[in-house]
Amino acid sequence: MLKRSFERRSPTCGMTRSVNRTGSTKERILGAAETLFAQRGFDGASLRQLTSAAGVNLAAVNYHFGSKEKLVEQVFRRRLDALNAHRLAALDRIADQPDTRLEDVLDAFIRPALELSHEGGGSLFMRVLARAFAEHDDGLRKFLSENYGHVMRQFTAEFARLLPRLSKEELYWRVDLMTGALTHAMSGIGMIQRKSDVSERAHREQTVQHLIRFAAAGLNAT
């Protein structure tokens, strides 16, 4: 479980990155928390590091969030609420339609996520998301499942409609592996890096198209 308060630890030199001091106090705290959670994990982030990076005092953290659990949840909500709203809006336009292709559903799932990862701080958030699963925190996993599990269920239902020959277990395996490939692409740590003569937008579109083809082949494999 997440600790209910920040431990008072001396900051490690070079580990904490200051965030933009403009914007609301709440946004500065969220930005600093995202950076620290990506660098040090949820238990490793200290109160001193957070307040120093955000340029706030303890009272401000307590006022806006009340507890560490709530702060962690808000870090996720800040990114995932908008991401999944975009995903579901795209899915609603094509779900249950006779001419919907597997690639259309994959586009609705993949494109908003890659757009997020290329926004300011998006790739950093991917590291935070990876830590949520790597650290095996049951409380955080429950929060993510309760608040965002319905998104994956809706996409999986559409995959099942388009791939009726797959058993439920086999479909879940393939969707899980496809999601892993997407997470890897979002992290930006793979071998394929943007070339200097390719724009950010063009590189993102290349990634989307490659990933859709890869995922479609995996989901459709005999």
Q: What is the pLDDT of residues 172-187, one digit of tens each?
A: 999 999 998 988 887 7
Which residues are registered as beta bridge partners of 7? 46
Q: How many domains does the chain have?
A: 2
Residue 60 and residue 165 in one domain: no
Residue 188 and residue 98 in one domain: yes
Residue 174 and residue 95 in one domain: yes
The residue among 3, 34, 41 whose CA lies nearest residue 17 is 34
Structure tokens that stand for 82 in this block: 């908008």
Residue 85 and residue 180 in one domain: yes
pLDDT of residue 18: 43
Angle between helices 168-187 and 200-220 (to 10 degrees): 160
Residue 55 and residue 83 in one domain: no
Segments forming the whole domain that contains residue 197: 75-220
pTM: 0.79
pLDDT of residue 14: 41
Residue 207 and residue 101 in one domain: yes
Segments of the chain scoring below 70 in pLDDT:
1-23, 119-121, 136, 188-192
pLDDT of residue 190: 61
